Amino acid sequence: MQTTPHDVLLVVDVQNDFCPGGALAVPEGDAVIPVIHRVAPLFHHVILTQDWHPEGHTSFASSYGTRKPFEQVELSYGPQTLWPDHCIQGTPGAEFHPALHLPQAELILRKGFRPHVDSYSAFFENDHTTPTGLDGYLRERGFRRVFLAGLAYDYCVHYSAIDARRAGFETVVLRDGCRAIDLAASEARIRADFAEAGVLESTSGQLSRPTPEP
C-alpha cells in the first residue's frame, strides 16, 4: 500500500497515562512507538491527538463517590464507562510519552477537555454531535485518506476510525501500531465494526512510499 501526499497519519493518544506505569495503562502501550517511528517517514503529514481532561471530569469514577473504575453509568448522551483519573491537563500523565519523537507533526488536537462529556473520537465528543474541528481541518488541507495508530485500539482509535470513515475519508488502521485495553473481549467486536463501516486494517510492513520518477 503506497502513501501519497493526500494521506495523513493520525497518531492517537500516545501519552504517559496510557503507557506502562500510567494511570490507565494499556498493556504494552509503549510498543506502538517503534512502529509509529517506522511509518512516520512514509507520510508527508502527521497529526497527534492528546487526551486533555480537567480535574473532576465526568468520565472519572472518582467524580461519583462510590463508583469504581470500569463501571458504567448513564449520562445525558448515553452509556459512559468510568475510568481512573487520567490525562489531567498539565500533569505528567497527560504528556506524550518521552520516547515519542515526531517533531514534524503539523497539529496537536486536544480532546476530552469539556467537563461534562467524554471524547474518544478525534472527530466528535461522545455525544456524537459536538465536533472537534478535525473534519474541517482535514478537508481544508485536501486530505483524502487517514491512517491511524496509537492507543487504545478498542476505544479512541476505534471511534476515530469509524468517524473518519463516516466523514467520507478512506480510513486505514495500522493494527501493529495499536494496542487494546480489551475490556470484555472488545477486540473481536471492533474488527466487526471496522468491516461493517468500510475501515481497512493493515500493518506497517505493508506500507511504502511511491518510488520517485527518474
Contact call for residues 112 and 138 (beta carbons, < 8 A): no
The DSSP symbol for 19 reads S
For the chain, the first-to-last Cα distance in angstroms comes to 21
Catalytic site residue from 7, 30, 118, 156 = 156
What values do phi and psi take at 173, rounded to 5?
-100, 125
Cell representation of residue 7: 494521506
Catalytic site residue from 7, 19, 85, 111 = 111
Is 19 tagged catalytic? no
Catalytic site residue from 7, 13, 30, 163 = 13
Is 111 tagged catalytic? yes
Contact call for residues 149 and 180 (beta carbons, < 8 A): no
Cell representation of residue 179: 494496542
Which active-site residues does the annotation give? 13, 111, 156
